Amino acid sequence: MKSKICILLFAIITFSCGQGIKSESMSTQSTDSTFSTYKEGLILRFWKMYPDWASSVGYHNYDSLLNIPDQNQRQKELHFIAAEMDSLKIFNPDSLNDNNRTDYYLIVNQLNATDWGIVEMKSFEWAPSSYNVGGTFGDMINNTYDSLDNR
């Protein structure tokens, strides 16, 4: 599952146009440019929401954060999903270019899958391994991206 999500994020990053944040209003900015800006912000928000995942793919800006897999964290995730789905409502996928349309549907699918996992699948109720934070600690200690003291 993690590899599929990594592929999704790689695709989003790959298809991003690399546009910087602009202060122009949506009416003066093209839909594709606005969506590209949204994607860049989403990736940063996504990494902050899932810092252990970010670290596992080489993004270490949020290594000081560690999520506790509890009801509070699941509520934060559901709030994050709802906010991002709400943000996506301003974009009509049919008005986006092919790359952005693909990214749009990848984002929607990822958000829906995460929501389904929390609300329907509920692996936290029957899979005790979901509470194991050992892998995250192991990555922090064993990776060589920074000195051991900093990690």
CB-count burial class (<10 Å; 0-12, 13-18, 19+) for 78: middle
For the chain (151 residues), the mean pLDDT of every run of 10, in chain order, is: 50 47 44 96 97 90 88 98 98 95 98 98 93 83 78 67
Both tokens of residue 70? 């509890």
Q: What pLDDT is recorded for position 116?
A: 98
Q: What pLDDT is recorded for position 21?
A: 40
Q: What pLDDT is recorded for position 18?
A: 44
Q: What pLDDT is recorded for position 135?
A: 83
Residues 6 or more apart from 35 whose CB is under 8 A from it? 91, 96, 100, 103, 104
Find where tokens 């929390």 sit.
118
Cα gap 97→84, rounded to integer Å:
20
Q: What pLDDT is recorded for position 141?
A: 78
Q: What pLDDT is recorded for position 17?
A: 46
